[in-house]
Amino acid sequence: MRVARIWAWITFGIGAAYFFIPLIATLEFSMRMRRGEYSFDAYRIVLGDERFQATFGYSVVVAIFTILLGVLVVVPTAYWIRLRMPQLRPIVEFITLLPLIIPAIVIVFGYIRMYGSNSPLPFLGSARGTDVLLIIGYATLALPYMYRAVDTGLRTIDVRTLTEAAQILGAGWATIIARIILPNVLIAVLSGAFLTFAIVIGEFTMASLLNRPAFGPYLQNIGANRAYEPAALAVIAFAITWGCMSVIQILSRFAPRSASAPAN
Amino acid sequence: MTDISVSGSIRQSTPRAGQRVRLPTQWLGVAPFFIFALMFLILPTTYLILGAFQNDAGEFTLENIAALSRPSIVNAYWISIRISFTSAILGALVGLAIAIAIVRGGLPPWVRSATMTFSGVASNFAGVPLAFAFLATLGRLGLVTVLLNTLAGFNIYSTGFNILSFWGLTLTYLYFQIPLMVVIITPAIDGLKREWGEAAATLGATQFQYWRMVAIPVLWPSFLGTVVLLFANAFGAIATAYALTGSSLNIVPILLYAQIRGDVLHNPHLGYALAFGMIFITGLANVLYLWFRTRSERWLK
């Protein structure tokens, strides 16, 4: 057993080295901008860059709309599947897994060919339409994660009883979903939302091919033209991802474990 | 329970009329989802797949698929498959080793929770920023390159290593492949029941025999399944490679990217065929994954 423990420490140590060295190297590199001393110049330049603020702001707005769209598509469906149409579950689960099978670049390629300005649905005819298409594309990318998060959340509440109770009190479907189901799976939805945010904020392929001024293409552009700023941006991006994952972990502590322990 | 539910009460009061009305309204609840999936996932993909089998006049043809056998395209697929496969296998093996170490290695509990948290972050840390991180580490001016050169007098670039190459990209992909493996496989290792180890020990098995004859056969399907998932994960990725190498490394997603931007293959339908080839390969990988998963779940219940 002692030998096993030594091996376990060695494995863990090598793994930790592989994962921490790039982080340390990036941090160190990002502070090398001023000759001969460490400074936060690269960060100051990046954060003060107008294009950084504009593209980051754009991506945050797109991420928020993506989350809203994702919730709007996923929550009623997952709820309805659980309540009324469990026979559809395998089909819906398969569809939500499709974005893992079809690469993002292929999906967006399809959009470009199908929704061009001459098509019946000319999303790409205007900048606003292209924004909408980008949000839709991101919602499909996030679909596997959002659906799983919401479905796990629904598993912990007694959907049927809550629905019946609400119906007896005269609630309609919209009221039930918005005021009964959604609050009860809010923690699961928020987990899915933060994961969506982490995926969407720096996404490159779709934004670049749809020519939208998002954070991902900006990152790529800086990477091709600057020396120290990319490292600073990588540190910022890692911090954002870390922040999203931490929020998800904190949220999971508040999540109800089973239907017998209702979430109130 | 169904008796008090609304569907039940409708059925009781007006059996026939109720059923006729109920069917479409029931479907109404899932209609938005299916319309969304159809319009923005299934139809666009189908459009490309059909386009791959058509010529400019819209007639059926296999020419586009046959044109994929151009050396430059075959080469791109081959490099893509090799990078994805290598990073998947290495990522799976290293991830498995780390997962075994944190679950069964007798390490303090904080090691496990820290590893799992970090894996959750690192498996989502991909794309352009990851490329920056590796350029800052192993690029020509990267910390590790410089340190090795000044401290040990060893120039890794003199060995032919280049971050903009096959191994450079594979090493970079491992940064999200290994954590993804850890996240997926740790529950499977948790599923190895302690009783199996005790039973094996009672029958006189050594630790080695326990792993060879009990643990590995049980883990095998989920291991292979995850390898396939990691493969598809790397195969469709473009942002990291593009930010790292520009268009100097000829992998399929980068070729497709260039084709979408500027029709570099001078044949739109060849672009469709390229996309079809990608879906075909990742689809095949995922069919294998689902097959392995149904096999492994039999043991891990």
Task: Give the pLDDT of residue B296.
Answer: 65
Residue of B40, B182, B189, B288 to mutate, interface with A, max A Cβ within 10 Å: B40
Nearest C-alpha neighbor of B253 from the set B269, B241, B265, B268: B241
CB atoms A113 and B48 under 8 Å: yes
Task: Give the pLDDT of residue B2.
Answer: 40
Cβ partners under 8 Å of residue B128, min gap 6: A202, A204, A216, A219, A220, A223, A237, B239, B240, B242, B243
Residue of A3, A12, A169, A229 to mutate, interface with B, max B Cβ within 10 Å: A12
Segment A164-176 shows an average pLDDT of 89
Give residue-wise pLDDT tens across range B60-118: 888 888 888 889 899 999 999 999 999 999 999 999 999 989 988 888 888 998 899 89
CB atoms A107 and B44 under 8 Å: yes
Kindly report the number of other CB atoms within 10 A of residue A255's CB atom: 16
Give residue-wise pLDDT tens across range B111-161: 998 899 899 899 988 889 999 999 999 888 888 888 888 888 888 888 878
pLDDT-based confidence at residue A257 (cuts at 50, 70, 90): low
Indicate if the pLDDT at residue B300 is higher than 70: no
Question: Which residues in chain B are closer than 8 Å to A15, comparing Cβ atoms?
Answer: 94, 97-98, 101, 115, 178
CB atoms B125 and A238 under 8 Å: yes
Give residue-wise pLDDT tens across range B15-60: 444 444 555 677 888 889 999 999 999 999 999 999 999 888 888 8
Task: Give the pLDDT of residue A197.
Answer: 93
Indicate if the pLDDT at residue A243 is higher than 80: yes
Among partner residues B47, B256, B279, which is closest to A114 by beta-carbon distance?
B47
How many residues are there in chain B? 301
Task: Give the pLDDT of residue B250.
Answer: 84
Nearest C-alpha neighbor of A142 from the set A80, A198, A218: A198
Indicate if the pLDDT at residue B301 is higher than 70: no
Structural domains of chain A ordered from first start = 54-254 (1.10.3720.10)
Angle, CA of B288, B291 and B292, to the nearest 5°: 85
Task: Give the pLDDT of residue B11.
Answer: 44
pLDDT-based confidence at residue A138 (cuts at 50, 70, 90): very high
Segment A28-40 shows an average pLDDT of 87
pLDDT-based confidence at residue A253 (cuts at 50, 70, 90): confident
- Rounded percentage of chain B residues whose pLDDT exceeds 70: 90
Kindly report the number of other CB atoms within 10 A of residue B70's CB atom: 12
Segment B269-273 shows an average pLDDT of 90
Indicate if the pLDDT at residue A262 is higher than 50: no
Helices (H), chain B: 6-13, 15-28, 31-37, 43-52, 63-67, 71-104, 109-122, 128-138, 143-151, 166-190, 194-202, 207-210, 216-236, 239-245, 252-262, 268-300
Task: Give the pLDDT of residue B205.
Answer: 86
Of all residues in chain B, the one with the smallest CA distance to A85 is: B26
Q: Name the more confident of A210 and B18.
A: A210
Task: Give the pLDDT of residue B166.
Answer: 87
Mean pLDDT of chain A: 89
Task: Give the pLDDT of residue B206.
Answer: 85
Kindly report the number of other CB atoms within 10 A of residue A157's CB atom: 21
3 state DSSP class of A160: helix
Between A and B, how many CB-CB pairs are < 8 A? 262
Check if the beta carbon of residue A138 is closer than 8 Å to that of residue A62. Answer: yes
Virtual torsion, Cα A258, A264, B3, B6, nearest 10 deg: -120
Task: Give the pLDDT of residue B274.
Answer: 93
Alpha-carbon distance B139 to nearest alpha carbon in chain A (angstroms): 11
CB atoms A105 and B256 under 8 Å: yes
Determine contact: A141 vs chain B, CB below 8 A. no
Structural domains of chain B ordered from first start = 1-52 (no CATH), 70-300 (1.10.3720.10)
Give residue-wise pLDDT tens across range A63-110: 999 999 999 999 999 999 988 888 889 899 989 988 888 899 999 999
- Rounded percentage of chain A residues whose pLDDT exceeds 70: 96
CA separation for the pair A173, A160 (Å, rounded): 13
